[in-house]
């Protein structure tokens, strides 16, 4: 299936001496060919090709392909132009029309804005790989209606926010990379995920108790939880699970495998009614149970 280039491609570069060969491959990989590119050769592109600009030394400085109605793919040779600077862009809502889309990979592609709620029509989508961009905002609930197996949203510059509740409804998940963001709230019950699971949640603001269903999940192979604000007993994962050093970088109240006392357990249950706010987790870690009691009483109108 061909996908129309829907967004403005604006490229500024100081390129190698082989610019002509690269732009010739570009012309041959896209259709319909622009009338301004009717004389396709690796010579004269600076002056004869519409949308093409060069600097005083004859190097490509700008390529503007907006409103050309092009179909096709960019040639792999673009990766050889190491000085290219792509303009930031947003995920187009029109992707919802690509109902047969199985894989969308745009890692480290200067994507900004929020993730649009387009996934209800993308039941065939298996791979969504958007790590190392500048996405922000929540995970759209429509993700639950997709068939996503591999979800890479890690290392967003500004950081995705809100909760990760939608994961509980994404039963096809196999690889979940949400690390280095600003997600909050508790980890959900993922027991409906039957595939071998690689779960990377480190470096967020997650709170609450690590669910027993996650610790005992038979399909869990790898998990990272470090640098969050998780509470309750320190979870003891089986030896078959590869874990990171999450023990000292959260706000656990009891050692691994040792349950909290009854008072602490009760207070954690009450905290759950407040969706385990970050302020509560920080207070718990600094001052123990008394700070938790103070917060709960202060929060009640």
Whether the predicted pLDDT of 80 surpasses 50: yes
Name the domain boundary from 86, 105, 122. Answer: 86
- Give residue 282's pLDDT: 64
Q: Considering the domain boundaries, does residue 93 fall inside one?
A: yes
- Placement of tokens 């319909």 in the chain: 32
- Mean of pLDDT values over 87-115: 93
Residue 42 is predicted with a pLDDT of 56
Q: Is residue 264 part of a domain?
A: no
Give the end of a domain, one of 29, 53, 86.
86
User: Residue 107 falls within a domain, yes or no?
Assistant: yes
Question: Do both 130 and 249 map to the same domain?
Answer: yes
Does residue 273 belong to any structural domain of this protein? no
What CATH number does residue 113 fall under? 3.80.10.10
Q: Identify which of 80-89, 154-163, 204-213, 226-235 has the greatest average pLDDT.
A: 154-163
Q: Which of 50, 49, 57, 64 is nearest to 12 (CA)?
A: 64
107 and 154 co-located in one domain = yes
The pLDDT score that the predictor gives to residue 23 is 78
Same domain, 19 and 161: no
The domain tally of the chain equals 2
Average pLDDT of the chain to the nearest whole number: 80
Write the CA distances from 79 to 69, 111, 182, integer angstroms: 23, 18, 31
Same domain, 100 and 160: yes
The residue that leads in pLDDT, 241 or 290, is 241
pLDDT at 56 over 80: no
Q: How many CA atoms lie within 13 A of 257 on its CB side?
A: 3
Report the SS3 class of residue 199.
strand
User: Is the domain of 240 the same as that of 153?
Assistant: yes
Indicate whether 162 pLDDT > 90: yes
- Under 8 Å between Cβ of 152 and 128: yes
Sole residue written with tokens 């009450």: 270
Of all residues in the chain, the percent with pLDDT exceeding 90 is: 48
Q: Tell me if 115 sits within 8 A of 139, measured CB to CB.
A: yes
Residues 96, 229: one domain? yes
Q: Which of 42, 65, 86 is the last residue of a domain?
A: 86
Clarify whether residues 137 and 42 are in a common domain: no
**Which of the four pLDDT bands, split at 50, 70 and 90, describes residue 41?**
low
pLDDT at 278 over 90: no
> Is the model's pLDDT at 8 over the cut of 50?
no
% of the chain surpassing 70 pLDDT: 71
Q: Is residue 140 located within the same domain as residue 191?
A: yes
- Answer yes or no: do 96 and 241 share one domain: yes
Out of 4-18, 49-63, 131-145, 249-263, the most confident range is 131-145
- Is 287 within a domain? no
pLDDT of the residue at 141: 97
Q: Inform me whether the pLDDT recorded for 301 exceeds 60.
A: no
Q: Are 60 and 114 contained in the same domain?
A: no
Look at residue 148 and tell me if it is in a domain: yes
User: Rounded to two decimals, what is the model's pTM?
Assistant: 0.76
The confidence band for 216, taking pLDDT boundaries of 50, 70 and 90, is very high
Residue 133: pLDDT over 80: yes
Q: Are residues 15 and 133 in the same domain?
A: no
Average pLDDT for 113-132: 97
* In a domain? residue 21: yes
- Per the structure, the complete domain to which residue 68 belongs is given by 10-86
Do 232 and 189 share a domain, yes or no? Answer: yes
Dihedrals phi, psi of 50, to nearest 5 degrees = -65, 135
Q: What is the mean pLDDT of residues 172-193?
A: 96
Question: Does 141 map to a domain?
Answer: yes
Cis previous bond, 209, omega within 30: no
- Give the Cα separation of 289 and 40 in Å (integer): 74
């Amino acid at each position: 299936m061909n996908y129309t280039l829907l967004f403005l491609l604006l490229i500024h570069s100081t390129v190698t001496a082989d610019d002509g060969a690269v732009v010739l491959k570009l012309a041959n990989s896209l259709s319909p060919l622009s009338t301004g590119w009717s004389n396709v050769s690796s010579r004269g592109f600076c002056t004869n090709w519409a949308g093409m600009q060069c600097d005083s030394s004859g190097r490509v400085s700008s390529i503007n392909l907006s409103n050309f109605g092009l179909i096709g793919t960019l040639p792999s040779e673009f990766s050889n132009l190491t000085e290219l600077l792509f303009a930031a862009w947003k995920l187009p809502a029109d992707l919802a029309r690509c109902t047969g889309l199985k894989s969308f990979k745009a890692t480290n592609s200067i994507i900004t804005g929020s993730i649009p709620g387009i996934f209800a029509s993308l039941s065939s989508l298996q791979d969504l790989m958007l790590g190392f961009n500048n996405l922000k905002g929540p995970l759209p609930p429509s993700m639950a209606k997709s068939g996503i197996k591999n979800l890479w949203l890690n290392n967003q510059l500004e950081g995705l926010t809100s909760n990760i509740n939608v994961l509980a409804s994404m039963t096809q998940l196999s690889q979940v990379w949400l690390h280095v963001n600003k997600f909050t709230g508790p980890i959900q019950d993922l027991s409906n995920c039957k595939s071998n699971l690689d779960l990377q949640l480190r470096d967020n603001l997650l709170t609450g108790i690590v669910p027993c269903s996650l610790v005992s999940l038979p399909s869990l192979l790898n998990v990272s939880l470090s640098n969050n604000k998780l509470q309750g007993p320190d979870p003891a994962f089986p030896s078959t699970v590869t874990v990171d050093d999450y023990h000292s970088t959260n706000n656990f109240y009891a050692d691994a495998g040792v349950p909290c006392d009854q008072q602490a357990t009760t207070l954690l249950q009450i905290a759950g009614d407040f969706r385990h706010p970050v302020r509560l987790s920080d207070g718990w870690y600094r001052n123990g149970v008394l700070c938790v009691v103070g917060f709960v009483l202060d929060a009640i109108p």
